[in-house]
Structure 1
Amino acid sequence: MTYKTKLGLDENIVAALSYVGFWITGIIILLIEPDNRFVRFHAMQSLMIFLPLSIVVLVIAWIPYIGWILADFLGFFSLFLVPVFAIIAYRGILLKVPVIGSYAYRMIDQ
């Protein structure tokens, strides 16, 4: 059973969209959707995965030569994670990433 959200879309679509724009759409969807716990969980998990990953890539990229290569690999890894998490959310699965997922779940309860 799918539930509607404030955007008028099904919850699995909005949860999948929270991963598409990395941490930016996670923040936007957290601000727009105050009631749906499934959507808020995926938006919070997106924020908690991709914001630190973006910061790490940015910091590593400042290291000459080897840092550029490592930043590229981390960037491609994050591009791989986006469709994986989006498909999982679209299917309606509440997959908690170890450590981050549990913390994200506790954060939406507050």
Structure 2
Amino acid sequence: MSVYKSSTGLDENIAAVLCYLFAFLGALAFVMLEKKSRFVLFHALQSIFLFVALMIGHVLAGFIPLLGPLLASLLTLASLALWIILLIRAGQGKWLKLPWVGDLALHQARQL
């Protein structure tokens, strides 16, 4: 349990979990509402950037003949595993920064 609270009154780790649990809607809500916690804001932004990148990957896989469905299936499995890991690490109050999207999220969180 985190001793720090977000602007919403939730513990930071609970708010971060909600950013991943409800991907776009949860993360977008915390981007708009969070005024105090860089931890929550980072996880909200990383969630948005990650799930947008995954959606783009799925769309692009659909354009690849023969291998597209296999790539989309592998991307789905990797996405599920990553989602579970992010939920657990956020719940533990950890800053798990992913390559590319994590860097972008951290940069944006520092500017807001």
Q: TM-score, normalised by structure 1?
A: 0.85
CA distance in 2, matches of 1:24, 1:67: 28
Asked whether the equivalents of residues 2 and 12 of structure 1 are also in contact (C-alpha less than 8 Å), the reply is: no
The 5 A counterparts of 1:1-110 are 1-110=2-111
Q: Give the drift of 1:106.
A: 1.6
1:10-48 per-position Cα deviation (integer Å, ceiling 9, x unaligned): 110110111123344322221121221110011111112
The gaps in structure 1 that reach 5 residues or longer are: none
Pairwise CA RMSD:
1.8
CA distance in 1, matches of 2:30, 2:73: 28
- Number of positions where the alignment pairs a residue of Structure 1 with one of Structure 2: 110
The gaps in structure 2 that reach 5 residues or longer are: none
CA distance in 2, matches of 1:7, 1:109: 19
Q: Give the drift of 1:96.
A: 1.7
Structure 1 vs Structure 2: percent identity of aligned residues? 37
User: Which residue identity does 1:50 align to in structure 2?
Assistant: F
